[in-house]
Chains A and B, each alone.
Chain A
Amino acid sequence: MNDKRKELIVSAISNGTVIDHIPSENVFKVIKILGLDKTGKQVYFGTNLDSKKYGKKGIIKISDTYFAIEEINKIALVAPSATLIEIRDYEVTRKTNVSIPARIEKIVKCFNPNCITNKEEVSTKFSVIYDENGLMKLSCHYCEKNTSKDNLIFI
């Protein structure tokens, strides 16, 4: 019964991609990172939906659109637990989890105000590193300073 009600909240799509298990507060960030605010396809989304696993979650459904893995991995910074479900003719044809890529380009600002990327029109580039406590950080290709997860600002 639960499943039926969920379908009523966010309608089903015949073909396309469902991104599930997005942290509710980051649904709009995911929309922005994937450029869904500019797509001509139908997009449905919901936030603060009940989730057995996470309490609250967000979900996005995009019609007639499939993502390359490098493309979808960009959202791993804001939705590391997200699941990607590909739908063809109402059937789930593929289910994958996102993973944090080794390199991140263009989507995040460098936290260092004196970095060239904050001074001139230069696209940001980072490699993903982990500190001794296992915390993820973005190491700037230009100024070589680290931006921690708490300081992420999306462009």
Chain B
Amino acid sequence: MKNRSLVSISDYSKEEIIKILDLAEDFEKQPRQELLKGKVIASLFFEPSTRTRLSFESAVQQLGGSIIGFSSTATTSVQKGETLKDTILTVSNYSDLIVMRHPVDGSARYASEVAPVPIINAGDGANQHPTQCLLDLYSIRKTQGTLDNLDITFIGDLKYGRTVHSLVIALCHFNTRFHLVSPVELKLPSAVKRHIKEANLRYEQYTDLADVIPTSDIIYMTRIQRERFPDPLDYEKVKNSYILQNDALEHAKQNMRILHPLPRVNEISVDVDNNPMAYYFQQALNGVYVRQAIVSSILGLK
């Protein structure tokens, strides 16, 4: 993985994914070390983010590395019309590795082709978000003790949610049984289902989430956005059907945990937060260890 960019979760084999998760486990035990001393990491956020940017920056700083970059393009030459290529080539001169979030699909792959330093994709438009995927996998393994043979339920917007797509694709390595709960308008795209079929795994689709809670080991919630519906009436019809309430969890398995990539709006009711099954804030913390593992393995330090 040394010096190789991480653009898409499919850039990593099953063994490489597991290596990152094992490394992250070590960092969780000892997140503060001087491993990145003398290294400069560029953090280029062309688009807003809370968790991804701050957890990357925290991950690097806890390891003694320094951060340069921007969290909005307002004060940069991007405003003057500088191309992505020119920005990336310039920043490559000043850093050992670039973490990048950009609103355009495929921008990260392109950046990885022009940059002489490795790129970590922190989200490219609606396309990929591989570090989120790795921290989701880490959270699943940590709460279930394994990644293999689990019943994993995805709820909400399965059509546009990039974190759902990457995670489904990655889970195809681990003999997952997929349960897909969404309004008909927002079903998982066939291009993603293809991966499940090619791995000879099973998936079932539901429109009602109550049916599937008792069999799930993991519930992965996502937000349904009003603007995804061409007809606002269709949104009104479904908007309350995909909200997770605390009393719905009565018949859940004891080991079940609820994940959410965040930000949450109202799809997980606030009364769930105190339920031991709620795991989404710890999930966000795991992002620090996983990103420490990714950065140090790409820089060849682990």
Residues of A within 8 A of B (CB): 110, 112, 114-117, 119-122, 131-132, 140-146
Query: How many angstroms from the CA of A119 to the CA of B105 in the assembled complex?
Result: 10
Do residues B84 and A116 form an inter-chain contact, with CB atoms below 8 A? yes
Q: How large is the interface on B (under 10, 10 to 19, 20 to 34, 35 or more residues)?
A: 20 to 34
Interface of A is mostly: loop
Query: How many angstroms from the CA of A142 to the CA of B103 in the assembled complex?
Result: 13
Given known pairs A116-B84, A119-B104, the reply for A141 and B109 (CB within 8 Å) is yes
Do residues B109 and A142 form an inter-chain contact, with CB atoms below 8 A? yes
In the complex, which residue of chain B has the Cβ closest to the Cβ of A139? B191
Using Cβ atoms and an 8 Å threshold, which residues of chain A touch B85?
A: 120
Q: Is B128's beta carbon under 8 Å from chain A?
A: yes
Q: Mark B101-118, 1 if CB is under 8 A from A, else 0.
A: 001111101100000000
Looking at the complex, which one of B8, B103, B126, B194 makes contact with A131 (CB distance below 8 Å)? B194
Total A-B pairs, Cβ < 8 A: 52
Do residues B106 and A140 form an inter-chain contact, with CB atoms below 8 A? yes
Do residues A116 and B110 form an inter-chain contact, with CB atoms below 8 A? yes
Using Cβ atoms and an 8 Å threshold, which residues of chain A touch B125?
A: 114, 143
Complex A-B, nearest 6 residue pairs according to Cβ-Cβ distance, in ascending order: A142-B106, A143-B105, A143-B106, A116-B106, A116-B110, A142-B109
* A82 CB to nearest chain B CB (Å): 29
Using Cβ atoms and an 8 Å threshold, which residues of chain B touch A121?
A: 83
Using Cβ atoms and an 8 Å threshold, which residues of chain A touch B14?
A: none
Q: Please provide the chain B residues from 85 to 104 with a CB less than 8 Å away from any CB of chain A in the complex.
A: 85, 103-104
